[in-house]
């Protein structure tokens, strides 16, 4: 009798737990209803990049209407190609690409196009002959940033004899490098007294910049200006200057121009260690979301969207502004 009673109880418990499972399964949102975005990110080479990744993930991962799949390419274009091809196989609804470098995208973008998947290029650009291969390209006006830096330097060095410029370059072939370099080279061509004494390759990272700067400063110290294509390379260069006993910033030997205007760089700028911070705004996740929404409604979206950016010297800064800075 007792055994029969126990088996009845066991059956009831099993039925109840099965019913519970069914309920839970029904409550889960199905993947099918979500808009799936595959995102190939450059890497995590800089504070700018980390802020950009945060802006993207916060924008899309917190919205239940989207499934956001990000793959980190670790600064290698071949990793990006592999990710994009995986996204095609997975049948995502849209592919977002922050390209490492501009060249080499024609074939893989054609494959995405043939698969009928829309593409948005963000941050940097791609050099393809058919711009129907992507919906839009959103990011910075890198040439404009370089021109702002050159304009500032022009005013700062009026009347100087020779201006020796040390140029730290980011990833060769990336739009941020190509355009910031072009702006400097164009300006040098217009100034008889400006000389680029050396171009050093820092790959947008602090470690690489520190390494090449340390080596360079062993034999060359005649530098008036450092034109550094991002903040992290600038931090590496500052460390190398410190170790070589070279002064910089207000009242120092070297004027420093840096790109990105991260919180840390702005603090150095206010403290007189960096002379000019040219802003490169990484927080465009929400703008991309708006563009996607427009596209899904069938509205026309612009082929190129530039984000808002400015420049800062110490005169433009106060602690409240820096403390409130999001990146």
Site residues for ligand AHR per CB under 6 A: 45-46, 48-49, 123-124, 176, 204, 230, 259-260, 280
Task: Using the minimum distance from each CB to ligand AHR, give the nearer residue, 123 or 264.
Answer: 123
Smallest gap from residue 259 Cβ to ligand AHR (A): 5
CB 67, CB 37: distance < 8 Å: yes
CB 231, CB 264: distance < 8 Å: yes
Smallest gap from residue 264 Cβ to ligand AHR (A): 12
What is the strand order of the sheet 163-169 is part of? 194-201, 163-169, 225-228, 255-260, 276-279, 311-312
Phi-psi region of 177 (alpha: psi -120 to 50; beta: other; left: phi over 0): alpha
The residue among 192, 198, 186, 100 whose CA lies nearest residue 148 is: 186
Which is it for strands 136-139 and 119-123: parallel, antiparallel or unpaired? Answer: parallel
Smallest gap from residue 172 Cβ to ligand AHR (A): 13
Task: Using the minimum distance from each CB to ligand AHR, give the nearer residue, 46 or 169.
Answer: 46
Smallest gap from residue 142 Cβ to ligand AHR (A): 7
Task: Using the minimum distance from each CB to ligand AHR, give the nearer residue, 238 or 246.
Answer: 238
Smallest gap from residue 48 Cβ to ligand AHR (A): 3
In three-state secondary structure terms, 293 is helix
Distances (CA, A) of 214 to 43, 229, 246, 252: 25, 17, 11, 18
Sorted by sequence, the CB contacts under 8 Å of residue 205 that are 6+ apart come out as: 45, 46, 232, 233, 236
Smallest gap from residue 138 Cβ to ligand AHR (A): 12
């Amino acid at each position: 009798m007792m055994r029969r009673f126990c088996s009845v109880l066991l059956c009831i418990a099993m039925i109840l737990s099965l019913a519970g499972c069914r309920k839970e399964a029904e409550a889960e949102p199905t993947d099918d209803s979500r808009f799936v975005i595959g995102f190939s990110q450059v890497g995590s080479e800089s504070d700018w990049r980390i802020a950009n990744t945060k802006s993207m993930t916060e924008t899309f991962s917190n919205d239940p209407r989207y499934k956001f799949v990000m793959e980190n390419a670790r600064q290698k274009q071949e990793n990006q190609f592999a990710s994009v091809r995986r996204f095609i196989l997975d049948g995502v609804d849209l592919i977002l690409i922050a390209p490492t470098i501009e060249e080499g995208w024609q074939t893989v973008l054609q494959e995405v196009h043939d698969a009928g998947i829309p593409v948005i290029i963000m941050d940097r650009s791609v050099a393809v002959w058919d711009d129907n291969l992507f919906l839009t390209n959103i990011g910075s006006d890198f040439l404009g940033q370089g021109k702002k830096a050159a304009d500032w330097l022009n005013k700062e060095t009026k009347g100087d004899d020779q201006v020796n410029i040390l140029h730290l370059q980011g990833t060769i072939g990336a739009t941020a490098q190509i355009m910031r370099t072009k702006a400097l080279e164009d300006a040098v061509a217009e100034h008889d007294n400006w000389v680029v004494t050396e171009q050093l390759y820092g790959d947008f990272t602090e470690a690489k910049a520190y390494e090449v700067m340390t080596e360079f400063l062993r034999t060359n110290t005649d530098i008036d200006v450092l034109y550094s294509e991002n903040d992290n390379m600038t931090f590496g260069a500052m460390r190398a200057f410190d170790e070589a006993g070279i002064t910089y910033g207000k009242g120092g030997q070297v004027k420093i121009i840096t790109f990105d205007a991260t919180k840390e760089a702005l603090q150095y700028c206010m403290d007189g260690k960096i002379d000019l911070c040219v802003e490169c705004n990484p927080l465009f996740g929400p703008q991309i979301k708006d563009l996607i929404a427009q596209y899904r409604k069938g509205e026309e979206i612009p082929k190129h969207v530039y984000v808002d950016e400015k420049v800062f010297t110490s005169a433009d800064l106060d602690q409240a502004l820096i403390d409130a800075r999001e990146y």
